[in-house]
A and B are shown apart, each in its own frame.
Chain A
């Protein structure tokens, strides 16, 4: 007896009695919703992933699952061709830089939201201005705080004012900044919007069952001429299955059609199944260890000593982890960013090759000859975290794993409660280093080092329009981060996708599955 809320019809007011009644009525009826049949025969693509966004509004979660929904349900002003990296018109038909802090955009006519409202410049201005207000309490601040304000300048145009020159602006406008329907959002509020989201994208959300699934159908009135085209598959369903093995078993038994993040071992085994296709692709996601440099979690933290952080960096055999655990095209990273992002470089950046003897020597020098106890927090790829713990143990550091859900992990990190955080970051698929270092090293909440020198360099890089200067600044910052060992970059994450052999699906390095582009094989 799932509570289903149809799009556009949001329950308002207090319905306590009804709720109590529902609970009672549900006692024996039980959760026997119509079985969600996956597969080609039902023209329903069921994809499963582990985490449920706390809020389906694209600005109110920073989960990858939320990004996927955002890309399939909403459109952005600009589109970035995943193959060439070129920026293509989407909801904006044209744009011009008036000066480095002023961007004019022409908004497309004839686009309608899923609820029938036409898209207007007002929607664009509302979206960007709303998310910048503190009351909006968005969790993806880093994606929008380069904007100062947005104004409607004509029946089909808007102007975005920037706080400072921001060369990566178009990258951000073509990813994590989807356009929300102003009138509808104002009417239902954030809560209502989260339960019945409305966008302009190729799929329309028809029901949200908290903790279970999000059902979508193809938007048959999707605007013609979109660079991403109309969706092919009729129905799309996101199923939340927290447990990785259940996801795999569901795939093997036909309960779902598509899963991802399959560990390398299992991916290899699944290849033997003729009804499945297994695909490995490198992604922009990079794992790294973030150290409590300031000693916020523990005033006497050994991590305050650079030698200890360097010792940890020497103690871990990242190459062996790549070769044996991650596999599938993973690469060891030496700078804290994805090597192919603009501005990311390993040139001149100090590297820490596996050297346990040196690690022990550094620890001894720092006065920790007998090692120490420390917490290590992680939220995904538990095996990697456990391997790190094993390596640390070999040099005398006794780390205890604190395995959390992402929301709890993020909150603990922001509150300065983690000693060593095993982070991973996919940069919101933005091909610019600012999307990585800007969040973790530019003095923000998730910056555990807060080094003024690094912050100054990053700010200079993020706001300059001179590519050469930007590169130089980023290199300087990345070098200092590595020399001080504020963080230890681990390696890039390959993603292993496994899906029904009936499905034609292409993976992109930006880790955003484009289900609207998928189709059933004939």
Chain B
């Protein structure tokens, strides 16, 4: 007998279970006719390409400063310069180049944090969902405890204790954002477990490890991908917030959140210094969210949710 607070996010989780084995062709057809998915995939694809090709596409060294060429406005301003399409920052560093290299940081943090939290959350969720009973009770308890901790505050405190850096931010976020993975995979595993082919595998005497790896995991993969996109977006926003508060990625790294923090003193008279990285963050996160929503819709049993 387990007690699960109804306020756990699963009560609101909108992630529908994918059909047992959805043919790739159907998914592809649905994907191509799903506007949000296409836009999301386009945005994410573009950002990934930019991040990978940063050294090729960035017009300047993102760290090269020239204090005599500070705060040049972007090209669409009267005083803009072709040499610096998005202008320069307070130390005369090329804003476009910093923005391009900044995408590497956002993606790196989003991916690594989602990987770590995904590993933790999925392990907990699958165990709880598969075994039920006591295991489920313990996992639910751990998730409830984790949800009670204020994420931003704990992340800030941890980062300050260890010292803010890219690695620390990834680890802290990875170890904090696993709750949704656990909740969703738990629910998904329970549903899959009740299906015939799992019962058949059990009857055939397969080991639990093998059942989990071969029968359960592949069937909850779509739900996992959806949560992973959400948590990637979440981690990217949190990194920006931590860096904005001075306890995330440290200068001179060109994190977008840090760029907003550094541009803040200039926002009243040079608003573009915070608008540009802010919009970049918005677009990337929007893209990831659209992609996630798209994947959910496409893999949902009755098509659009």
Contact = CB atoms under 8 A, between A and B. Distances in A.
Contacts of B163: 402
A320 B250 CA distance: 24
A318 B90 CA distance: 16
A155 B266 CA distance: 59
B70 interface: yes
A391 B267 CA distance: 25
Interface string B52-67: 0000000000011101
A249 interface: yes
A324 B70 contact: yes
Interface in B219-264: 246, 250-252, 262, 264
Given A245-B264, A325-B67, A387-B65, A401 B252 contact: yes
A403 B160 CA distance: 11
Nearest to B252: A389
Interface string B63-83: 111011011000000000000
A390 B250 CA distance: 13
A1 to B, nearest CB: 22
Interface in A371-419: 382-383, 386-387, 389-391, 393-394, 400-403
Nearest to B163: A402
Interface stretch (A118-126, A261-269, A434-442): A261-269
A263 B68 CA distance: 16
A265 B68 contact: no
Given A325-B67, A383-B91, A390-B65, A245 B252 contact: no
A51 B266 CA distance: 21
A266 B65 CA distance: 20
Nearest to B246: A403
Contacts of A324: 67-68, 70
Interface string B161-194: 0010100000000000000000000000000000
A427 B53 CA distance: 51
B265 interface: yes
A223 B282 CA distance: 61
Nearest to A392: B252
Contacts, number: 64
Contacts of A393: 63, 252
A321 interface: yes
A246 to B, nearest CB: 10
Nearest to B63: A393
A382 B70 CA distance: 15
B265 A245 contact: yes
B279 to A, nearest CB: 19
Contacts of A265: 71, 90, 265-266, 269
Contacts of B269: 265-266, 269
Nearest to A398: B252
B132 to A, nearest CB: 41
Given A321-B67, A324-B68, A400-B165, A389 B264 contact: no
Which of B63, B68, B91, B163 is most buried by chain A, counting CB atoms within 10 A of its CB?
B91
A293 B252 CA distance: 24
Contacts of B265: 244-245, 263, 265-266, 383
Contacts of B91: 383, 386-387, 390
A481 B17 CA distance: 71
Contact of A266 (B63, B67, B268): B268
Most A CB within 10 A of own CB, among B250, B264, B267: B250
A383 B273 CA distance: 15
Contacts of B65: 387, 390-391, 394
Interface string B99-128: 000000000000000000000000000000
5 contacts: A245-B267, A386-B251, A387-B65, A401-B250, A401-B252
Interface of B: 63-65, 67-68, 70-71, 90-91, 93, 163, 165, 246, 250-252, 262, 264-269
Given A393-B63, A394-B64, 7 more contacts: A249-B268, A265-B266, A323-B68, A324-B67, A325-B70, A386-B251, A400-B250
